[in-house]
Chain A
Amino acid sequence: MINAVLIFNTSGVPRLTKFYTPPQQSAQTLVQKIFSLISTRQASLCNFLDAPELESFLNQSSDDGEKLRVVYRNYATLYFVFVVDSAESELGILDLIQVLVESLDRAFENVCELDLVFHFDEVHHILSEIIQGGLVLETNVEEIDNAGECSESSRFADAAKARKDSYASSNPLSLGAGVVGSRGTSIQTPLGWLTGKLTGVGAR
């Protein structure tokens, strides 16, 4: 099963953390640990990381040591990281990350890191349409999109418009000249993870 889904940017700032088995230590330290492990890996290395170092962080008790693996994928400024046990197919998880990204892309029309920040509830909602309780719920992008929309329609009429408004209203603030440091700069690049481009370099 999938033990955790983490999204953080290339500076290690978490954008989404979702645990399906409660972590031993704080989520923060875990993200830092994983970040330090994978940020040093070059793009040509594989997308899997055996994580004996992480076992103490994730396992409920140390002696039932199910072997955990970290499967991750890097899209522009974001790392999508899944912590899974040996029952999951590694490549299947890679595909699943792709589905998650494509779903986000549909929901936000050219998703970028900012969307994940401002619409954290919706990101969680989309994730919950794909994974539930650590298992794959749905893999069909259309279905995920529909489920998102149908609950949205009961929420309010023009969700997309609202989203754009909020994006516009937040933009001047976030991209203002005063923003310095890694936490600000990383956000300025929209991800441009259009589905078509994913097959290129960004998909590694």
Chain B
Amino acid sequence: MATSMRGLTQFIADIRGARVRELEEKRINKEMANIRKRFKDGNLDGYQKKKYVAKVIFTYILGYKVDVGHMEAVNLISSQKYSEKQIGYLAVTLLMHENSDFLRLVVNSIRKDLNENNEIYNCLALHAIANVGSQEMAEALAEDVHRLLISPTSQSFVRKKAALTLLRLYRKYPEVIPAAEWALRIVSIMDDMDLGVVICVTSLVMALAQDHLDAYAVCYQKAVDRLQRLVVEHEYSATYAYYKVPSPWLQVKLLRLLQYYPPTEDPTLKNVLYEVLKTVMNNCAEPSRNVQHNNAQHAILFEAIGLAIHLDTNSPLVNTATVLLARFISSKETNVRYLGLDTMAHLAARADHLDAIKRHQGTIILSLRDKDISVRRRALDLLYSMCDVDNSELVVGELLRYLKVADYGLREEMVLKIAILTEKYAGTYKWYVDTILELLSAAGDHVGDEVWYRVVQIVTNTEDLQPYAARVVFEYLKSPSSHESLVKVGGYILGEYGHLIANDPGYSPIEQFQVLHSKSQFCMAPTRSLLLSTYIKWVNVFPEIKPQLVNVFERYRHVLDVDLQQRACEFYALATRADDDELLQNVCEEIPPFPPRESALLGRLNRKHSDTEDKRTWIHGGKEANLERSSTLRTRKPTLGDVNGTGPSKPEISTDITSSLMGLDLTSSPTGNNAPGMHTDFVSAPASLLAEKGIPRLTMNTNVDRWFNKLIYTPDGVLYEDVQIQIGIKSRYHGHIGQLAVYIGNKISAPLTSFTATLLVEETDALSASFAKIAPSMIAPRTQTQQVIHVECKKPFSNPPILSVSFLAGAHQTIAIRLPIVVTKFIEQVKLGQAEFFERWKLIGGPPREAQSIFPIALNEAGHVDTTKQRQVVAGSAFSVLEGVDPNPTNIVAAGILHMSEDGKVGCLMRLEPNREAKLCRITVRSTSEVIAAEVQKLIQKPLSADAPS
């Protein structure tokens, strides 16, 4: 650039040569005048425009205001020469802000560059959007940016930029980006081979996931997997090692991302995560001498400790972390001390008990006197967080002592925090009053009004405290100089409760009046008016000093301040009424207690923390503060129940339809294809709603149903198959425990990348299902991967878990299917004789512990009832078919015991009575639990019914 623009070099050199600022300004003014003239004359070629715009930019960088060159910059962007285009973009990003009118003019040029085949132009355009993207640009270009991000033909460096550009647009104008619908596609890029791309996409996911926790839930698994690969398996390209640490930025980002989610329940993920965190902590055991290496290690370590705290404050990892932190806060490195204190504050804010931290209280208090103000601030935060009932007197005392020498910048926050701690952990009211009044006298200027309002509130509401408070405040007022806040508190408290101590020696009315009135002359008008109110109260209770008080009113009747004057006049009139007048007494009635209300102090402090962009994962303050905060956060989190809100009504509707069509008397239990009551919901709910909750849309076709129905009564078989992928199942059950091996085969000749498998269990308290290990992120061509799922049945359930599999094969695809995990799988056979069977059958009795229905059946080729299949289904559902119980040989009688870990064992008896002529079959299930009877009846009937696809 420089060679081709001699004029610019000359210009820069001239400015640098200028000895004094005036010469520099002169040179610049001359140049700007020249440029203005040139631009006005027009007819400039690309090179000249570029040169002048570059000069304008340089001037701007020097800090001068520039008002020319915008239009020329816009023109340069559409130039076909890279060097001109680049200067144009630079000018646009530097000189213009997002609301600039000129940006309208560049939207089209930018779109053109986005669609260009030249990646470098793409990048320039993306970069410009990321810097100055306006709403108009967001609306016009978000789609294009997204396309560049997901297009398989995009180069890595384009995708990186596209990811961050999208993020910028989302931050500015969230409504233009359908975040939830793009979720799976975007998360899938976290598996990219290029770590640079992963970093950028992780940043994007982090921002989106905060607002759409459920939609982006898959990223949890991805992040854990990536961490494991980086930290434990050391799987990364060597160029991404920064001083031998594998991409610290990515690790930090991932660890942070995980903190936005509630701790995972999945045992496999948890184990992997703990292993990762342990490795990170061990890595830091031996500090190296290289500063950069240490820096990077520590960056990861601090984030890892944060995550460990987030996951479980009682885990052994946190103990290790506490030991490390204790070492850090007395480290020689200031940076480490600073972060050590910061992280310890996080721990204090979350931990159940603070003993481990309190052991280092001495060191922390010493840190308040660190030579670095940044460290002092962190120490203050930590002390605030670790304060509780036991150490409050010590901590607050320490803070008060420090307050007197603290930096001015720190004082206001300190005062607020001391006031809150004092109120929150006050053991005795006496201590509260002492401390707060000392606070008022020590740091008067920095005391916000909230603090003294609160004192008044508490004293008014606590009767026992009133005489003591009055006495103490009187003592404070006696000192020669007291701060105005103190005078206000004094005025209020003595006015209300001065009479309570008036009989004690040294506190007589006249003494009270003299002390208070001596302060009046140093106070502002509002304080003086408060004092006037005090005096009128005294007129009521202390008739002996009425002359002095009336005298004061009299004098104030002539002051210039309107408020004061008005009060004085009114009070004067009130005070000089006849003695038997009751008005004064009524006016000066004692103040009633305030209604209990939340401390305004906390509100003020929390306001300082309210978040705009990336949310903090914790706030300063004790455990309760954090709990409270997380519960408010959680309330807005949608639950699965919301989606299924319409659930119960749907099966009934379809029941009505079936019954009216067939004219059969059916029990109230739902029948037919809609057995898992949720199917309808998942299919009919709008896509965006499902995406928002992170619920996959179930893949539906007749094959899927047929495969599923078959697997209900067989242990092995195909669950899903299409041209690209095949999913097979092998299962084993024992009691309430089951194990499923899911075989996922890639049928095409290209690898399936960014492979993800997740399980969704709707009734988490009744059924648990989890993968034994995280699925690999890629399936090689024509190979198969096996995933083991552990299942445990705790209570009766009716919704089988959903397996959702997504992968990239050209386009991004998601398959979501129900796994054949149903109640009958947890049944074990039981052998019963005829007598025993009927005894129990009668014992259980009819409805509601009986479920019965009649359904159509198909006959086999020979025109007979397909007894073999019926037996197969019943036996496949793990019932033992009992021979010789029913006199009719075509009828099937069976028994089984359902095993559940929480609800124990439940016996189940059933009878199947097919009727060849009517092509109908009656099924009767009796069980000691009505829920189970209905559920088993549905499950057995489903594959047998003629309606079932076969």
**Residue in A closest to B16 when the chains form the complex, CB atoms:** A174
Q: Are B298 and A151 in contact (CB under 8 A)?
A: no
B871 at the interface (CB under 8 A from A): no
With a cutoff of 8 Å between Cβ atoms, the chain A residues found around residue B120 in the complex are 150-151, 154
**Residue in A closest to B124 when the chains form the complex, CB atoms:** A151
Q: Are B97 and A22 in contact (CB under 8 A)?
A: yes
Q: How far is the CB of A139 from chain B (nearest CB, A)?
A: 5
Q: Give A49 to B335 CA distance when docked, in angstroms.
A: 10
B838 at the interface (CB under 8 A from A): no
Q: Are B303 and A89 in contact (CB under 8 A)?
A: yes
Known: A45-B334, A50-B377. A119 touches B130 (CB 8 A): no
CB-defined interface of B672-714 with A at 8 Å, one 1/0 digit per residue?
0000000000000000000000000000000000000000000
Residues 113-132 (chain B) with a chain A CB within 8 angstroms: 120, 123, 126-127, 130-131
**B4 contact from A156, A174, A204, Cβ within 8 A:** A156
A136 at the interface (CB under 8 A from B): yes
Q: Number of residues in A with C-beta < 8 Å to the partner?
A: 80
Q: Give A174 to B13 CA distance when docked, in angstroms.
A: 7
Question: Total contacts A to B, CB within 8 angstroms?
Answer: 222
Q: Are B614 and A120 in contact (CB under 8 A)?
A: no
Known: A1-B614, A133-B131. A50 touches B161 (CB 8 A): no
Q: Are B613 and A133 in contact (CB under 8 A)?
A: no
- Would you call the interface of chain B mostly helix, strand, loop, or mixed? helix
A125 at the interface (CB under 8 A from B): yes
Q: Are B335 and A91 in contact (CB under 8 A)?
A: yes
**B13 contact from A92, A99, A173, Cβ within 8 A:** A173
Q: Are A133 and B2 in contact (CB under 8 A)?
A: no
B83 at the interface (CB under 8 A from A): yes
Q: Are B157 and A147 in contact (CB under 8 A)?
A: yes
B200 at the interface (CB under 8 A from A): yes
B37 at the interface (CB under 8 A from A): no
CB-defined interface of B285-319 with A at 8 Å, one 1/0 digit per residue?
00000111001101100110000000000000000
Q: Are B302 and A89 in contact (CB under 8 A)?
A: yes
B86 at the interface (CB under 8 A from A): yes
Q: Number of residues in B with C-beta < 8 Å to the partner?
A: 83
With a cutoff of 8 Å between Cβ atoms, the chain B residues found around residue A176 in the complex are 17
Q: Are B240 and A178 in contact (CB under 8 A)?
A: no
Residues 1-25 (chain B) with a chain A CB within 8 angstroms: 1-4, 9, 12-13, 16-17, 19-20
Q: Give A178 to B23 CA distance when docked, in angstroms.
A: 13
**A139 contact from B98, B165, B199, Cβ within 8 A:** B199
**A65 contact from B1, B9, B295, B610, Cβ within 8 A:** B610
With a cutoff of 8 Å between Cβ atoms, the chain B residues found around residue A98 in the complex are 292, 295
Q: Are B199 and A155 in contact (CB under 8 A)?
A: no
**Residue in A closest to B608 when the chains form the complex, CB atoms:** A65
Q: Are B61 and A119 in contact (CB under 8 A)?
A: no
Known: A46-B372, A85-B614, A137-B160. A155 touches B82 (CB 8 A): yes
A198 at the interface (CB under 8 A from B): yes
CB-defined interface of B650-683 with A at 8 Å, one 1/0 digit per residue?
0000000000000000000000000000000000
With a cutoff of 8 Å between Cβ atoms, the chain B residues found around residue A76 in the complex are none
CB-defined interface of B260-280 with A at 8 Å, one 1/0 digit per residue?
000000000000000000000
Q: Are A27 and B374 in contact (CB under 8 A)?
A: no
B611 at the interface (CB under 8 A from A): yes
A25 at the interface (CB under 8 A from B): no
A66 at the interface (CB under 8 A from B): yes
Q: Are A66 and B19 in contact (CB under 8 A)?
A: no
Q: Give A179 to B165 CA distance when docked, in angstroms.
A: 44
**Residue in B closest to A1 when the chains form the complex, CB atoms:** B613
Q: How far is the CB of A103 from chain B (nearest CB, A)?
A: 12
Q: How far is the CB of B859 from chain A (nearest CB, A)?
A: 67
Q: Give A132 to B123 CA distance when docked, in angstroms.
A: 11
Known: A46-B372, A64-B610, A139-B242. A121 touches B97 (CB 8 A): no
With a cutoff of 8 Å between Cβ atoms, the chain A residues found around residue B290 in the complex are 199
A96 at the interface (CB under 8 A from B): yes
Q: How far is the CB of A129 from chain B (nearest CB, A)?
A: 8
**B164 contact from A91, A94, A133, A173, Cβ within 8 A:** A133
| Most A CB within 10 A of own CB, among B290, B334, B375 | B334
Pairs A-B, 3 closest by C-beta atoms: A87-B614, A91-B299, A166-B2
Chain A residues packing against B (C-beta within 8 Å): 1, 14, 16-17, 20, 22, 27-28, 41, 44-50, 52-53, 63-67, 85-87, 89-92, 94-96, 98-99, 117-122, 124-125, 128, 132-140, 142-143, 147, 150-151, 154-156, 162-163, 165-166, 169-170, 173-174, 176, 178-181, 184, 187, 198-199, 203-204
Known: A1-B613, A138-B196. 12 other contacts (CB 8 A): A46-B334, A64-B610, A65-B607, A85-B613, A92-B248, A117-B12, A125-B90, A132-B168, A139-B242, A162-B1, A179-B17, A180-B19
